[in-house]
Amino acid sequence: MQKWFKLVSILLLSLMMVVACSNNKGTDQGSGKEETKPAAESQEKVELTISAAASLKDAMDVIQHTYQEDHPNVTLDFNFGASGSLQQQISQGAPVDLFFSAAEDKFDLLVEEGLIAKEDGVDLLGNSLVLVVPKGDQSIKGFEELATAGFDKISIGTPETVPAGKYAKESFEKMGIWKDVEPKVVYAKDVRQVLSYVETGNVGAGIVYKTDALTSDQVEIVATAKPDTHTPIIYPVGIIKDSKHYEAAKEFYDYLLSDAALKVFEEYGFTTK
């Protein structure tokens, strides 16, 4: 009897050891799978916030759609507005991952503040400044005529926060017509508001980027400002240093520099470096 009991005990012990080894093997295999974290992390849901100049909206809408199709785990949230206002928001701590400015000086302020590393930014696009009037309006054909035109309202972006407004004022000053034009000026929060004022006939003319004018079938471009009348129009883009999703932000930043993205920008009237 004792021998029989001893034999059963040995068999039970052996069975327990086999089960234990199987469990350990399964655990090890599970650990091995966990170690392939890069693939798992690449599928982790990420939400990126991009503060971008209002004039970039149409091109960025296309890029957003294409990028999210190829990167279903990434959601791109855009905050469009005047570059100066966006820069101030970031300086004050707004949670942003990338900044796409319509002016170098606004971008450079963030670099100087240490919020964007120099190596994480690049001058990517260029643009032109144009004079637009409501469709079918033949009352003026050039910037100089704004000083003597019959209408009493001209719109530009607020120069302190809207780069296009700053460039417009510089051009007026260079042409020697700012003193005559200034009393007629209606300031807008960004170029899209300027465009809207012209489209609705609330003003007789407006100064916007060429890319904005091309998006509307309700306005006409009557003149383009000569490049030497204003600061070069350059669009820098960069990654915010304290981004909580730096790697994902870097991947989207690299995509903006790709031929595919640059082609979209060119289709919307931007020049590329």
- The response to whether 268 counts as a known ligand-binding position is no
Residue 56: DSSP 8-state: G
> Is there a binding annotation on residue 55?
yes
Residues 269 and 130 sit within 8 Å (Cβ to Cβ): no
Q: What angle do CA 9, 11, 12 make, to 5 degrees?
A: 65
191 annotated among ligand-binding-site residues: yes
SS3 category, 115 = coil
Contact between 161 and 127 (Cβ < 8 Å): no
- The sign of the CA dihedral 184, 188, 190, 196 is negative
187 is in an annotated binding site: no
- Determine if residue 122 is labeled as part of a ligand binding site: no
HSE value, Cβ hemisphere, 13 Å, CA-based, for 245: 22
Determine the residue type at 60: M
Take residue 213 and report the two structure tokens written for it. 């004018």
Q: What is the C-alpha to C-alpha distance for residues 104 and 166, in angstroms, rounded to an integer?
A: 12
* Triad 133, 82, 131: Cα angle to 5°: 20
For 214-229, letters b (16+ CB in 10 Å) and e give bbbeebbebbebeeeb
Tokens (6 digits) for 194: 């300027």
> Which residues contribute to the annotated binding site for molybdate?
55, 83, 164, 191, 209
> Which residues contribute to the annotated binding site?
55, 83, 164, 191, 209
